Amino acid sequence: MQFKTPLLATCTFLVFCTFTAKAQDYTSDSIKYPFFKLDGVLKNKFEYATELGHHRFSVRNSRLGISGTITPLADYRAQVELSNEGKFQVLDLSGTLNLCEGLSLTLGQTSIPIFNSYTTHPGTMMFANRTFLAKYYAGTRDIGFLAKYTSDKLAIPVCAELGIFNGNVINDPVWNHKLSYAARLSFGTMKGFRSTVKIYGYPKNDNENYLLYGADVRYESDNWKAESEIMRRDDKINRADLTSGYIEGAYCIPLEGKLFKSIIPAARWDAIDRINDNKLDVHRITTGLGFGLTKKKFSSLLRINYEWYFVNHELDFLQDTQEMDANKLSVELVYMF
């Protein structure tokens, strides 16, 4: 019964938006700026911890989203997670004003400009599981205000983002005496070369106060892509600082099959470290093989991953269950629409 209520509310919301859109008078502006667009991601997953002999099935993600334009200069975005490991969540609820060419202001619940969406969004990740950096440092969304400016007038396209947020978690508009802030400067585009530098001040409460900063670089061509990132998280209260990084890549080989349109081998190394010695606390090697279901590269697919964990010092946030830092086989079916 707990699941039916949010599901019914979500379906009602999407139906209402659809009929509202159909009732509008379509002008030349609405043709140039689409009124609304539905999108979604579904990830069904099987995992087997080979050393422990434990296994499970899960619906890892089931997202529905709607985005569109109120006027040519006013956009909106709403997205819900029907089941994130069994939990319903509202992810995005924001409005954007496009003040002039390249400059936009967003107010509401939205992504924090610190993590790259292609390593956190379930439909664009190269692997079944996120990197240590993307999973254990901080949440990816908050409620606040974000200013964004992009320009392609220079030799390299540039994007600057600056935001202030509640500094708590999503769906919880708490009163706070200190806001969090985030800034990111990006160079390049998603096709070809791209690099960013970013910083995030995250004074969550009296017991948690972090400063995150890092940089990344990536390159994507028609059939392959490679990415690398390093980020530091300074703990201002408990001095339990973290450093994490990764390097990953994938290659898309086109096929002419009826079901599978491509085969995608991929590999990643990532690590996370808290202790200042000559050994990394935890690092991991992940290999994968994906089978693309559409002509669109790196999109909907059937994916097989295997993770090898190397643990020199146990980290508390990796000890919630014994499977978290155990070698694992993952098989998942990813749909993007």
Task: Give, in order, the Cα–Cα distances in Å from 125 to each of 121, 128, 177, 311, 318.
Answer: 6, 7, 36, 24, 21
DSSP string, 135-196: HHS--SEEEEEEEEEEE-SSSS-EEEEEEEE-SS-TT-----SS-EEEEEEEEE-SSEEEEE
Residue 319 has a CB neighbour count (10 Å cut-off) of 10
Pick from 25-29, 68-72, 168-172, 299-303: least confident = 25-29
The per-residue pLDDT for 153 is 86
Residue 238 has a CB neighbour count (10 Å cut-off) of 10
- What are residue 120's DSSP bridge partners? none
| pLDDT, tens digit, 9 for 90 and up, residues 89-125 | 999 999 999 999 999 999 999 999 999 988 898 888 9
Task: Give, in order, the Cα–Cα distances in Å from 326 to each of 82, 309, 313.
Answer: 28, 6, 14
The per-residue pLDDT for 34 is 55
Count of structural domains, the chain: 1
Band the pLDDT of 16: cuts 50, 70, 90: very low
- What are residue 186's DSSP bridge partners? 159, 196
CA–CA dist 195, 241 (Å, integer): 24
pLDDT surpassing 90 at residue 220: yes
pLDDT surpassing 90 at residue 310: yes
232-237 average pLDDT score? 94
CA–CA dist 236, 210 (Å, integer): 6
Residue 180 buriedness (CB in 10 A; 0-12 / 13-18 / 19+) = buried
The rounded radius of gyration (Å) of the Cα atoms in the chain is 21
The per-residue pLDDT for 63 is 94
Backbone angles phi, psi at 21, to 5 degrees: -65, -40
- Give me the chain's average pLDDT, please: 89
Band the pLDDT of 33: cuts 50, 70, 90: low
Residue numbers of the domain that contains 154: 4-336
Helix (H, G, I), strand (E, B), or coil: what is residue 73? coil
- Look up residue 252 and give its two tokens: 């898309």
At residue 188, what is the residue type? Answer: G
CA–CA dist 178, 10 (Å, integer): 33
CATH number at residue 252: 2.40.160.10
Report the alpha-carbon angle 327-329-335, nearest 5: 135
Backbone angles phi, psi at 168, to 5 degrees: -120, -110
- Cα-Cα-Cα-Cα dihedral of 48, 51, 54, 58, to 10°? -30
| pLDDT, tens digit, 9 for 90 and up, residues 18-28 | 444 444 444 44
The per-residue pLDDT for 76 is 95
The per-residue pLDDT for 238 is 87
313 neighbors 274 (Cβ within 8 angstroms): yes
The DSSP element (H or E) to which 70 belongs, if any, is: strand 54-71
